[in-house]
Structure 1
Amino acid sequence: MVGGSMGTGIETSMRYSGQSKTLRIHAKEKLPLDSKTLIQAHGEVETGAGHPRFLAMSIRRFFPEHSASFGVGFEFNSKDKFGYNIRGKRALGLTSNGMLVLNMKGRCDTDKNFNQKNARGAVELAWSILDFQKDQDVRVKLGYDLLGKVPYFQIRENNWTLNADINCNWNVRFDL
């Protein structure tokens, strides 16, 4: 299924980026409404300041017959305050086993008056390697941010994820 599992349970991670140089704790909860729809709530706390960086809620609908998802939501963050977002994703399997996928995704953020703040669109090639080594799964993504015109990559190994782009922006995440 595109966009992750529909399972419940709080997912937590620690995140650090070269730009902010602060350790953040992120938590996400997915609450299924039916077999194809969920409400997702998530937030992040900066450990240095001890205050929430953002809180967000969205409703996401999955279309497994098209390997696609669509979501709308709202966010309150410490920088821009209140706003809305809309996002979509479509995956095209390039191999019969689904281990090589072409993802197309987009997102648009607005302020509380629906004025566009940020738009993103990307195309990425994702290669999943199960049992790369014993008990180690690896996923490699090579992508291109269409609006920012920036190539990027992601390497994920079990609980660790490294993201970086050609402009030397990077972040690392550890899923608890």
Structure 2
Amino acid sequence: METSLRYGGDSTALRVKPPTVGDSSSAVRIHAKQRFRIDSNTRLQLNGELDTQIRAPTFFSALLRYFSPELSAKIGAGVRYDGRERLHYTTHAKKLFPLTQFANFVGKGRCDFDKEFKQPTPSGAAELVWDILDFQKDQDVRLKVGYEVFDKVPYVQVREDNWTFSADANGKWNVRYNLGF
């Protein structure tokens, strides 16, 4: 199970996952992710979030994800529930294009649908990713520069082993520490 602590620039308290869109609360949230292997290229991924202030779940998702090694691509489909008591269907796709041994171009997209499949909400990004293995002894670093296509927002991410710092051109930022469970 993967668990991480997250803190964002819009926060007034430490929380385990940033609030959902439109949620301005700063309560502590406990977020967990678990992947179950179906076969060598297929996983069932479950995500859940519990808001400790209201003592109720505020997010849950179940995604079936498939990785195609021949295409260096991942696709997925599943359901998402958010704290506003809305159920969404979701599809994901991600394609990696190697540039060098340690640099890649990544295209990714997601589309959420309401339960009647009438209101699609697309999102997508293009990223340049540079992995620096053994940046220092036993320390790996990943630099990511991306552009969110639908919102037209550039962003940057620096990841060092368990620490991740993300920021975008709108001034939003967050820091995440992976507890490594």
Aligned to 1:78: 83
SS at match of 1:65: coil
Aligned to 2:106: 103
Matched, 1:134 2:137: yes
TM-score w.r.t. structure 2 length? 0.85
Q: What are the residue-to-residue correspondences of 1:16-35 with 2, within 5 Å? A: 16-19=7-10, 20=24, 21-35=26-40
Identity of aligned residues (%): 48
Matched, 1:65 2:70: yes
Cα 1:143–1:22 shift into 2, 3 Å? farther
SS at match of 1:79: coil
Cα separation, 1, equivalents of 2:85 and 2:55: 18
TM-score w.r.t. structure 1 length? 0.88
Post-superposition shift, 1:79?
2.5
Matched, 1:12 2:3: yes
Post-superposition shift, 1:43?
1.0
Cα 1:76–1:11 shift into 2, 3 Å? same
SS at match of 2:150: coil
Aligned to 1:161: 164
Cα 1:47–1:83 shift into 2, 3 Å? same
Q: What are the residue-to-residue correspondences of 1:137-156 with 2, within 5 Å? A: 137-156=140-159
CA RMSD of aligned residues (A): 1.5
SS at match of 2:77: strand
Q: What are the residue-to-residue correspondences of 1:41-56 with 2, within 5 Å? A: 41-56=46-61
In the alignment of these two chains, the number of paired residues is 165
Aligned to 1:3: none
Post-superposition shift, 1:117?
4.8
Q: Which sits farther off after the overlay, 51-60 or 20-29?
A: 20-29
2:110 partner amino acid: R
Runs of 4+ deviating beyond 6 Å: none
